[in-house]
């Protein structure tokens, strides 16, 4: 039976470290501040924003929420970002996605100053990740790397297979595993015979968003399975891409959904905010 990688416990340990770093910054006269922009009333986004606010409270980061109506114009949103960019008391800016359909998310993300881009979505930060000198890392992939490090699972010399090629998870996940000396294969919806690749994986990262995609016969015995996705089953219960019960009998370690990667994403956001505050106060 696979060892369960407890994201709640690991993220809690990370948040304790972040809280200590925040205290040190405050002692030096710097109060880290995260500004979160939420446009509209999407219920899932509202939950995410609340969770981020709670995490800020736990570690001592000042949290400022800008709740905008769904009919906010592109220019009004860009103007708000410009104001936050120019505010020296704000160190991190996060615009909650998805945005209402009439807004151009790419233009919005480009507007956020790279050194305040705590999601690490700006092309300048993506480029730095690619060449290996980034200060701000995308929260979910970086959270996965922290989980592996905490569990003593090194990607070095391992075959790491990532299912998914999104800009948010799949692509940066592959880059971080590559930087850790893993041999990386990226699969996606157009990959023929997906199982032939997943069966080779020493570390398998599932990041597609398709319930039941990864079955036990697709997993190499003893592999580490990291399930990034959050889906719902026919009963409305949260689940990942992997068939957890079956795959956990084959893998050596596995992340649950919920309670796996999710808490790590928020912990990494807190760490990025402190990193940004530290860099901007030098």
**Which DSSP string corresponds to 193-224?**
SHHHHHTT-SEEEE-S--TT-B-GGGS-TT-E
* pLDDT at residue 37 tops 90: yes
Portions of the chain given CATH number 3.40.50.720: 139-262
Could you tell me the CA-to-CA distances from 223 to 110, 155, 160, 198, 247 in Å, in that order? 38, 12, 10, 10, 10
Q: Among residues of the chain, what percentage have pLDDT more than 70?
A: 100
Q: Which residues, at least 6 apart from 201, have a Cβ–Cβ distance to it below 8 Å? A: 159, 160, 161, 185, 219, 220, 223
Read off the pLDDT of residues 206-240 as tens digits, 9 standing for 90 and up: 999 999 999 999 999 999 999 999 999 999 999 99
pLDDT of residue 180: 98
pTM of the model: 0.96
CATH topology of domain 139-262: Rossmann fold (3.40.50)
Q: How far apart are CA 223 and CA 49, in angstroms?
A: 34
3-state secondary structure at position 175:
helix
Read off the pLDDT of residues 94-143 as tens digits, 9 standing for 90 and up: 999 999 999 999 999 999 999 999 999 999 999 999 999 999 999 999 99
* pLDDT at residue 282 tops 90: no
Q: How far apart are CA 115 and CA 108, in angstroms?
A: 15
Portions of the chain given CATH number 3.40.50.10860: 29-114
Q: How far apart are CA 149 and CA 90, in angstroms?
A: 31
Read off the pLDDT of residues 233-267 as tens digits, 9 standing for 90 and up: 999 999 999 999 999 999 999 999 999 999 999 99
Q: Among all residues, which ones are annotated catalytic?
A: 52, 96, 119
CATH class of the region 29-114 = alpha beta
């Amino acid at each position: 039976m696979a060892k369960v990688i407890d994201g709640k416990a690991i993220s809690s340990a990370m948040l304790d470290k972040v809280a200590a770093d925040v205290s040190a910054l405050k002692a030096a006269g710097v109060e880290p501040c995260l500004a979160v922009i939420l446009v509209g009333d999407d219920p899932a986004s509202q939950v995410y924003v609340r969770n981020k606010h709670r995490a800020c409270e736990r570690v001592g980061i000042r949290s400022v929420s800008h709740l905008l109506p769904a009919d906010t114009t592109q220019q009004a949103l860009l103007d708000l970002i410009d104001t936050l960019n120019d505010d020296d008391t704000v160190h991190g800016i996060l615009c909650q996605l998805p945005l209402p359909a009439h807004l151009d998310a790419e233009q919005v993300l480009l507007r956020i100053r790279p050194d305040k881009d705590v999601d690490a979505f700006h092309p300048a930060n993506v480029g730095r990740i690619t060449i290996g000198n980034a200060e701000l890392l995308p929260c979910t992939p970086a959270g996965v790397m922290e989980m592996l490090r905490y569990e003593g699972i090194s990607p070095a010399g391992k075959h790491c297979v990532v299912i998914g090629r999104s800009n948010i998870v799949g692509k940066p996940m592959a880059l971080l595993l590559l930087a850790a000396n893993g041999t990386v294969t990226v699969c996606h919806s157009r990959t023929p015979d997906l199982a032939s690749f997943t069966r080779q994986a020493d570390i398998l990262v599932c990041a597609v968003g398709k319930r039941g995609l990864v079955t036990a016969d697709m997993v190499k015995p003893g592999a580490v399975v990291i399930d990034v996705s959050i889906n719902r089953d026919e009963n409305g219960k949260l689940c990942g891409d992997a068939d957890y019960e079956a795959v956990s009998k084959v893998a050596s370690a596995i992340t649950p959904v919920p309670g796996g990667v999710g808490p790590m994403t928020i912990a990494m956001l807190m760490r990025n905010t402190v990193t940004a505050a530290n860099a901007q106060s030098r």
